[in-house]
Structure 1
Amino acid sequence: MSIRKAVPLAMELSWLVLFALVISEFFTDLPGPGWATTFLPAAVVFVLMAATTTLQARASAPRGEPRPPVEVAPPVTGRWTALNSPADKAPSHGTHVYGQTYAIDIVADPETGEGGAPARPAFRRLWPVFRRNRAFPAFGAPLLAVADAVVVGASDGQRDHLGRNSLPALAYLMLVEGNVRSVLGAHRVVGNHVVLDLGGGTYAMYAHLRRGSLRVRAGDTVRSGQEIAAVGNSGNTTEPHLHFQLMDGPDLDDARGVPFTWRGVGVPANGETFTVGEQPAPV
């Protein structure tokens, strides 16, 4: 077993030990003061978790000079805004795990009234705590293959949860749900997703897809510009958006990030809005 596969397992075991300690304090009568039976062991577990997180990040980090950016077509059409972009920093999401070093998030951001699409809801401090997905223009937007490719992974059975674009909902996501998803593994973090083999040791991963929207399955061959799924709000997300990345392998627990550039767009920076016209239909 490689270190990159062993470290996530160690993290999961650390969480299980921590949960067991907390539960045992409530439901058993352990001898000794509370700090000795719960808080001290919990502190040890947290130290272990921090160590395994550091090891995991180091194990997933690119070694040596990064590969040259791979140019691919944009995965969307219309007007979008970039978030968590590798144009500003790498790793773009603060971690190398799951091949996210050069990942990017994008949200649909149409002009008010453009095509009848709703404007993107603003972030709220308190209310409403949660929003329905249909309030976000990205939800259900078509996603396109960025190159001629072979589908090597496809999953869309997870639910689309409500949008968490408020302070209370964000706190819940970061402190509770996000940690639980990390324990359960990569598939619960990225949610519904599809992985394309672009050839040359490069793979594209689309995350947080809408449940039931996949138009392809593992083994299918797709052409550049072909619709393969739709934007959703599954996995570890605050609102409907696309998380896109290139990586050097199909296994999220073992992959390293690969730089990308979108043809005609480049790599939009955080907060940068870009527009992509309709791509030619596949032959």
Structure 2
Amino acid sequence: MSVRTAVPIAMRVSWLVLFALVIGEFVTDLPGPGWATTSLPAVVVFALMAATTVLQRRAAAPRGEPRPPVEVDPPVTGRWSALNSPADRTPSHGTHVYGQTYAIDIVADPETGEGAPPARPAFRWLWPVFRRNGAFPAFGLPLLAVGDATVVRASDGQRDHVSRNSLAGVVYLLLIEGNIRSILGAHRIIGNHVILDLGGGTYAVYAHVRRGSLRVKPGDTVRAGQALGQVGNSGNTTEPHLHFHLMDGPDLDNARGVPFTWRGVGVPANGETFTVAERTGERAGERTGAQAESRAAGQAESLPGERAAGA
């Protein structure tokens, strides 16, 4: 077992031991003084957790000179804006873990005007605390293969939760939900996802995919531009968006990040808006149909009676 595999396991074990100590303190009368049965073990566990966090980040950091950026097609069409971009800093999300050194988040940013899709809701300090996914223009938009590839991972069984784009929502995400998801592992952080083997030791990750939207399964071969699924709001997210990155292996706990550049777009910086034209041909027609279908589903989801699920 490699260090990069062992460290995440040690982290989860540390959390479980800590929970066991807390539960044991409340439901049982352990023999001996409290400092020996609870406080001291808790300090040891916290120290172990801090050490494993440092080791995990160091083990995931790129080694040697960075690889040249791998040029791939954009994973979407239409008008989008970039967030947490590697054009501004690396690691772009503040950590190297899960191979996301050069990861990027993008949100749909459609042109406003009569007949245009609704604008992306802005962050609110107080109200509303959350919004339904149908309020965000990214939700349900098609995700496209960035190159000819083989599907190595595909999972879309996790639910799409409501947004966390308010102060209360972000605090909840950072202090409670994010930590719980970290304990449960990478698949709970990235939510529904698909991983493509692009060849040459390069793998593409699409995270936070919409529940039940994937059209591919492990072992399938796909062509550049082929529809894979739809943008969702599963996993560790504040709102519907696409998290995309390249890495050097198919295992999120073991992979290291690989720089990318999108053909015709480059690497958009934070807040930069870019537009990818719809491609012509049979696959473009498939995507247009998928987009119309997803829009109808998004409208249905915004109706009263939708289950407002927490994390």
Instruction: Report the TM range for the smaller structure's normalisation.
Output: over 0.9
Aligned equivalent of 1:155: 155
Letter matched to residue 217 of structure 2 = R
Q: Is the alpha carbon distance of 1:280 and 1:69 closer, same or farther for their aligned partners in structure 2, counting shifts above 3 Å?
A: farther
| C-alpha distance in structure 1 between counterparts of 2:187 and 2:60, whole Å | 17
SS class of match (2:213): coil
| C-alpha distance in structure 1 between counterparts of 2:51 and 2:281, whole Å | 49
- Identity over the aligned pairs, expressed in percent? 81
SS class of match (1:8): helix
SS class of match (1:270): coil
Letter matched to residue 97 of structure 1 = V
| C-alpha distance in structure 2 between counterparts of 1:220 and 1:152, whole Å | 8
Residue by residue over 1:100-125, the C-alpha shift from the partner in whole angstroms, topping out at 9 and shown as x without a partner, is: 00000001111223753111111111
Aligned equivalent of 2:145: 145
Aligned equivalent of 1:233: 233
Deviation at 1:174, TM superposition (A): 0.9
| C-alpha distance in structure 2 between counterparts of 1:281 and 1:114, whole Å | 28
Q: Is the alpha carbon distance of 1:49 and 1:62 closer, same or farther for their aligned partners in structure 2, counting shifts above 3 Å?
A: same
The 5-angstrom pairing of residues 96-135 of structure 1 reads 96-113=96-113, 116-135=116-135
Deviation at 1:34, TM superposition (A): 4.8
| C-alpha distance in structure 2 between counterparts of 1:83 and 1:99, whole Å | 17
SS class of match (1:234): coil
Measured on the aligned residues, the alpha-carbon RMSD in Å equals 1.4
Q: Is the alpha carbon distance of 1:87 and 1:114 closer, same or farther for their aligned partners in structure 2, counting shifts above 3 Å?
A: farther
Residue by residue over 1:11-49, the C-alpha shift from the partner in whole angstroms, topping out at 9 and shown as x without a partner, is: 000000111111112112235565554344323222211
Give the structure-1-normalised TM-score.
0.96
Q: Is the alpha carbon distance of 1:159 and 1:94 closer, same or farther for their aligned partners in structure 2, counting shifts above 3 Å?
A: same
Deviation at 1:146, TM superposition (A): 0.5
Deviation at 1:154, TM superposition (A): 0.5
The 5-angstrom pairing of residues 185-264 of structure 1 reads 185-264=185-264
| C-alpha distance in structure 1 between counterparts of 2:186 and 2:21, whole Å | 25
Letter matched to residue 58 of structure 2 = R
Aligned equivalent of 2:286: none
| C-alpha distance in structure 2 between counterparts of 1:56 and 1:114, whole Å | 50
Aligned residues: 283
| C-alpha distance in structure 2 between counterparts of 1:32 and 1:135, whole Å | 56
Deviation at 1:169, TM superposition (A): 1.0
| C-alpha distance in structure 2 between counterparts of 1:219 and 1:53, whole Å | 33
Q: Is the alpha carbon distance of 1:19 and 1:114 closer, same or farther for their aligned partners in structure 2, counting shifts above 3 Å?
A: farther
| C-alpha distance in structure 2 between counterparts of 1:41 and 1:114, whole Å | 62
Contact kept? 1:123, 1:166, Cα under 8 Å: yes
Q: Is 1:180 aligned with 2:193?
A: no
Aligned equivalent of 2:41: 41
SS class of match (1:175): helix
| C-alpha distance in structure 1 between counterparts of 2:279 and 2:69, whole Å | 21
Give the structure-2-normalised TM-score.
0.88
Aligned equivalent of 1:52: 52
Residue by residue over 1:114-159, the C-alpha shift from the partner in whole angstroms, topping out at 9 and shown as x without a partner, is: 7531111111112111110001100001011111111111000000
Q: Is the alpha carbon distance of 1:114 and 1:206 closer, same or farther for their aligned partners in structure 2, counting shifts above 3 Å?
A: farther
| C-alpha distance in structure 2 between counterparts of 1:93 and 1:9, whole Å | 22
Contact kept? 1:113, 1:119, Cα under 8 Å: no
